[in-house]
Amino acid sequence: MRLDGIPGFALTCAAPAKINLALHVIGQRADGHHLLESLVTFADCGDRIGLAAADADRFTVSGRFSGGLPLSAEGKDGNLVLRARDLLRRELASRSIAAGPVHLHLEKNLPVASGIGGGSADAAATLSGLLLLWGASIEPPTLDAIALELGADVPMCLDGGPLLAKGIGEEISPLPDLPSFAIVLVNPLVAVSTPVIFRTLVNKTDPPLILPLGIATAADWLSAMADMRNDLEVPARRLAPVIDDVSGALSAAGATLVRMSGSGATCFGLFESDERAQQAADRISASQPEWYVCAARTTGEGG
């Protein structure tokens, strides 16, 4: 996704929040990674990445959640924006394609380690943005492999539309018919570590998702989603009991469906209209002014 935006940058790319509308863990690979089936969409709130050619590489950050982010590219714990830049540059260098110095700016609007894929979305937006800035292109399978090396969620964030994800998250089937929903995201600002949640998961062989067949209405999708789950909710709620308060607040505010996204602690509520969603967000913010609360619309049909 591309948009005009951060002053002083040739390009600004949106890094939208990823929402796991449902996530079933159906098995585990020999290397420990879990096999999933996840219904995924994206919300029109998120981080933004500014990109501009520069005399030397530079990285700057701003935004409500920029404090405490890693600022270097080094190691597995490096910032995903810089890791994405370096992996892409290495690939382009192997093909003798110029990938000059860049100033990258991360406007961090999404809470960190919150189950809505902020770092993954940043990495995906950086990959797409740099290809545009450098005027380069690489074939989709190679780009997907680079994305997967950065994280299981990065290929889906590169796709950016409603989809079904299988495997460890990298087998993606677009779902262009999934409707757009009015949504409220709520995070209590308690970071939850994805590896810890997967490690403490007990039931790893749940049944796959059952999607509505044929031409489905929004009501069909809502009814199918009501029968789905997020299997990571049980371990996440044990680790961060405040998730009960978050989902309780969304239910009390009138959501038609409430669930946790990813490995938590962000929960989402789906609402009948944008107005209802905004009212719910205002109500939750008023009672919990410290929490991250965002009323948004998901990508999809009719959005």
Ligand X SMILES: C[C@](O)(CO)[C@H](O)COP(=O)(O)OP(=O)(O)OC[C@H]1O[C@@H](n2ccc(N)nc2=O)[C@H](O)[C@@H]1O
Q: Which residues are catalytic?
A: 18, 153
Using CB under 6 A, pick the residue from 11, 49, 80, 88 that binds ligand ATP. 80
Judge whether 118 is annotated as a binding position.
yes
Residue 257 within binding range of ligand X, rule CB under 6 A? no
Judge whether 56 is annotated as a binding position.
no
Q: Buried b / exposed e across 38-57, counting CB within 10 Å, b at 16+?
A: bbbbbbbbbbbbbbbeeeee
Residue 266 within binding range of ligand X, rule CB under 6 A? no
Helix, strand or coil for residue 284? Answer: helix
Bridge partners, 104 (sequence order): 51, 59
Contact (Cβ atoms closer than 8 angstroms) between residue 253 and residue 280: yes
Instruction: Return all residues near 150 (Cβ < 8 A) that are at least 6 apart.
Output: 80, 83, 84, 87, 120, 123
* Positive or negative torsion for Cα 92, 97, 100, 105: negative
Residue 33 within binding range of ligand X, rule CB under 6 A? yes
Number of residues that bind ligand X (CB under 6 A): 18
Query: Cβ closer to ligand ATP: 81 or 267?
Result: 81
Residue 38 within binding range of ligand X, rule CB under 6 A? yes
Using CB under 6 A, pick the residue from 107, 122, 159, 231 that binds ligand ATP. 122
Q: Tokens representing 167?
A: 């495997």
Which of these ranges, 5-13, 24-32, 75-83, 130-138, lies near ligand ATP under the rule CB under 6 A?
75-83
Which of these ranges, 91-99, 113-121, 244-252, 285-293, lies near ligand ATP under the rule CB under 6 A?
113-121
Contact (Cβ atoms closer than 8 angstroms) between residue 190 and residue 221: no
Which of these ranges, 50-58, 76-84, 94-102, 240-248, lies near ligand ATP under the rule CB under 6 A?
76-84
Query: Cβ closer to ligand X: 152 or 185?
Result: 152
Closest CB 6 distance from ligand ATP, rounded Å: 15
Residue 99 within binding range of ligand ATP, rule CB under 6 A? no
Bridge partners, 43 (sequence order): 298
Judge whether 269 is annotated as a binding position.
no
Which of these ranges, 24-32, 78-86, 250-258, 290-298, lies near ligand ATP under the rule CB under 6 A?
78-86
For β-strands 34-53 and 102-107, DSSP reports them as antiparallel
Give Cα separations from 42 to 90, 134, 147 (angstroms): 29, 26, 17
Residue 235 within binding range of ligand X, rule CB under 6 A? no
Residue 46 within binding range of ligand ATP, rule CB under 6 A? no
Judge whether 8 is annotated as a binding position.
no
What DSSP string describes 245-270? HHHHHHHHTT-SEEEE-TTSS-EEEE
Judge whether 129 is annotated as a binding position.
no
Judge whether 113 is annotated as a binding position.
yes
Judge whether 180 is annotated as a binding position.
no
Closest CB 107 distance from ligand X, rounded Å: 20
Number of residues that bind ligand ATP (CB under 6 A): 20
How many angstroms separate the CA atoms of 39 and 261, rounded? 10
Contact (Cβ atoms closer than 8 angstroms) between residue 49 and residue 132: no
Residues making contact with ligand ATP (CB under 6 A): 69-70, 79-81, 106, 112-120, 122, 153, 194, 262-263
Residues making up the annotated binding site are: 111-121
